[in-house]
């Protein structure tokens, strides 16, 4: 078993990574449950994994109660948040209890936010079942719901008590979801680890095809990178954690334009967004066009969108920039952008003129 630690003082927590760990969840949850019933929140697509976790809890002598939600981004809403809080309160969840989030990014974000506000804060454990959640959203304590104004605009920083990652569950993931999660893996190489980007170029196809050892390595490497960044800048105050948003400013605008729907799921938006960030950097003379094309080529090799056309977005630059103006990182009328001097050389730029972004987007193929 590989264990990565997120060092946050008194709130330090472990991330355990092991094939088959889902069937041992009860062993890890027993010390946290302290004999009390555990609430497990999941979605309708994950009944097989729910059965595995509940069986492990029974073996550990722990009673559990399942709360099963509708899959998809639509569940990251005020209505579902209210329903979930009411259900958890009805189960008598106390501040010292640990709610289990069993699912992808939607479940993790929603459950984490509910736990951040329930009785002014109770505990939770992340058991991520998608690659995207395993390498990104389950680690670091960002929790949120979506609103009409945009994605993740209502939320809180609320760290889990533990993360359990089982790479074997990825065998049940639809290939589209697996590819979307892979975009977040590659992102770590694009940020500040050129050697890892090269590793992805060499091994990405086999990873997506099912190689368990490669998946375990990619997850552990990605989680270690995120743990290091989160420990250095938990609340995104000094610019270090902002690097994790590479591709997200462009990507969230594309997701907003497609209605946060299945037309373009989050990891696909991140891939297209990373391509656009490198393309914009090249257009501004900050990085080479060769680097921008190398990034785009890797997305194409992984069958991920490399820009507006592949993402199916035909909106004008003005419309996409308008979506960006609702970004939660907007401050005093200025939106910071993650740009790149090269692959593995990402930096935060607070001087980008949105008129330049609009002109760049208008020049992109549709």
Catalytic residues: 120, 142, 184, 226, 236, 241, 245, 248, 252, 266
Answer for the pair 122, 133: CB distance below 8 angstroms, yes or no. Answer: no
Environment class of 168 (CB within 10 Å of its CB; exposed 0-12, middle 13-18, buried 19+): middle
Q: How far apart are CA 168 and CA 215, in angstroms?
A: 9
Beta strands in 51-181 (DSSP E): 64-69, 98-103, 123-128, 142-147, 150-157, 162-165
End-to-end CA distance of the chain: 46
Answer for the pair 312, 264: CB distance below 8 angstroms, yes or no. Answer: yes
CA 197 to the chain's CA centroid: 19
35 backbone φψ class: left, alpha, beta (φ>0; ψ -120 to 50): left
Q: How far apart are CA 316 and CA 170, in angstroms?
A: 37
Environment class of 36 (CB within 10 Å of its CB; exposed 0-12, middle 13-18, buried 19+): middle
């Amino acid at each position: 078993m590989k264990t990565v630690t997120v060092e946050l003082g008194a709130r330090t927590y472990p991330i355990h990574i092991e094939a088959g760990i889902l069937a041992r969840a009860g062993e890890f949850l027993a010390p946290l449950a302290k004999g009390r019933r555990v609430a497990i929140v999941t979605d309708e697509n994950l009944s097989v994994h729910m059965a595995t976790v509940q069986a492990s809890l029974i073996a550990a002598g722990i009673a559990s109660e399942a709360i099963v939600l509708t899959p998809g981004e639509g569940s990251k809403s005020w209505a579902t948040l209210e329903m979930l809080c009411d259900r958890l309160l009805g189960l008598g969840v106390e501040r010292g209890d640990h709610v289990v989030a069993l699912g992808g990014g939607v479940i993790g974000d929603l459950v984490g936010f509910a736990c951040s506000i329930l009785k002014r804060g109770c505990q939770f454990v992340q058991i991520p079942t998608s690659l995207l959640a395993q390498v990104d959203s389950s680690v670091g304590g960002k929790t949120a719901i979506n609103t009409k104004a945009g994605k993740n605009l209502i939320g809180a920083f609320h760290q889990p008590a533990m993360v359990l990652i089982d790479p074997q569950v990825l065998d049940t993931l639809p290939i589209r979801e697996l590819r979307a999660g892979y975009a977040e893996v590659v992102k770590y190489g694009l940020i500040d680890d050129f050697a890892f980007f090269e590793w992805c170029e060499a091994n990405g196809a086999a990873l997506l095809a099912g190689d368990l050892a490669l998946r375990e390595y990619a997850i552990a490497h990605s989680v270690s990178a995120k743990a290091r960044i989160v420990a250095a800048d938990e609340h995104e105050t000094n610019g270090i954690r902002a690097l994790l948003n590479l591709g997200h400013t462009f990507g969230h605008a594309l997701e907003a334009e497609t209605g946060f729907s299945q037309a373009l799921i989050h990891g696909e938006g991140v891939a297209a967004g990373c391509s656009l960030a490198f393309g914009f950097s090249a257009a501004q003379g900050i990085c080479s066009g060769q680097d921008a094309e190398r990034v785009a080529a890797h997305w194409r090799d992984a069958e991920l969108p490399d820009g507006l056309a592949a993402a199916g977005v035909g909106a004008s630059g003005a419309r996409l920039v308008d979506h960006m103006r609702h970004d939660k990182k907007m401050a005093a009328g200025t939106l910071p952008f993650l740009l790149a001097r090269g692959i593995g050389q990402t930096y935060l730029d607070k001087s980008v003129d949105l008129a330049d972004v609009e002109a760049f987007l208008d020049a992109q193929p549709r």
